[in-house]
């Protein structure tokens, strides 16, 4: 008798659990990216461990290889956003040129950088919506805003503006950049280009007495 005869015909086999290799192949970044996509497309209430595991084709247990709990994942989502959209971005602007005026132009150009800018804006909008109802997200947004405004204020100070005025100019320029990012379909490309040139003149010219 062959060994196969010991198995009843038509008996169902239980699906195999993900192996250690499968679990290990899902890095924390994989989960963070998946959570971010759900946040953008469906909102924070749908960022759940069971739904993410189902979308990634693994068990819930594999999630706990990398995170303590859902709160830990959400904290890491905010951390990844802060690093990508604030810290790393500032470093790139500073490394591109030492000229503060050119760095300001780089800031003003951020909302117009194609698909990368559109994706960044979608994530930002989702996180700001989340921050309206969650203290942890609110703190992360406030921290990001303060860091970005502080960086821009330093650029204005380097251009010779007094500290208090540099902060005010930075706040207004930052508000303009955020508005352009969150309203990408409001104007034509020509209108956006003209508005950006006007914004540069407006924010950098000396005020008359």
Instruction: Give the C-alpha separation, 39 to 68, whole Å.
Output: 19
The single residue listed with the structure tokens 């405004």 is 149
10 Å CB burial of residue 14 (0-12, 13-18, 19+) is exposed
pLDDT of residue 208: 66
Contact between 134 and 44 under an 8 Å Cβ cutoff? The reply is yes
pTM of the predicted protein model: 0.83
Is 204 within 8 Å of 101 (Cβ atoms)? Answer: yes
Is the separation of the CB atoms in 32 and 78 below 8 Å? Answer: no
Tokens found for residue 48: 């759940």
d(CA 8, CA 10): 6
Strand spans (E) along 50-209? none
From first to last of the 209 residues of the chain, give the pLDDT tens digit.
Answer: 434 444 444 444 444 444 444 445 689 999 999 999 999 999 999 999 999 999 999 988 889 989 999 999 999 999 999 999 999 999 999 999 999 999 999 999 999 988 999 999 999 999 999 999 999 999 999 999 999 999 999 999 999 999 999 999 999 999 999 999 888 788 888 998 999 999 999 999 888 65
Give dist(CA 56, CA 13) in Å, integer.
22
Torsional sign, CA 134, 136, 138, 144: negative
Round to whole Å and give the CA distance between 159 and 153. Answer: 10
């Amino acid at each position: 008798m062959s060994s196969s005869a010991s198995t009843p015909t038509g008996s169902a086999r239980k699906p195999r659990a993900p192996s250690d290799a499968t679990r290990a192949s899902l890095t924390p970044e994989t989960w963070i990216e998946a959570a971010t996509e759900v946040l953008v497309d469906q909102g924070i209430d749908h960022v759940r461990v069971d739904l993410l595991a189902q979308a990634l084709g693994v068990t819930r247990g594999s999630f706990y290889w990398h995170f303590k709990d859902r709160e830990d994942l959400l904290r890491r989502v905010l951390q990844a956003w802060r690093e990508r959209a604030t810290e790393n971005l500032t470093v790139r602007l500073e490394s591109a040129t030492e000229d503060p005026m050119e760095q300001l132009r780089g800031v003003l150009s951020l909302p117009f950088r194609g698909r990368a800018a559109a994706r960044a804006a979608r994530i930002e909008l989702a996180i700001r919506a989340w921050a309206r109802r969650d203290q942890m997200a609110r703190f992360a947004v406030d921290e990001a805003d303060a860091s970005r405004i502080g960086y821009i204020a330093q650029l204005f100070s380097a251009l010779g503006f007094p500290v208090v005025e540099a902060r005010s100019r930075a706040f207004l320029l930052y508000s303009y950049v955020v508005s352009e990012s969150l309203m990408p379909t409001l104007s034509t490309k020509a209108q956006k280009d003209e508005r950006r040139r006007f914004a540069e003149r407006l924010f950098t010219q000396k005020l008359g007495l």
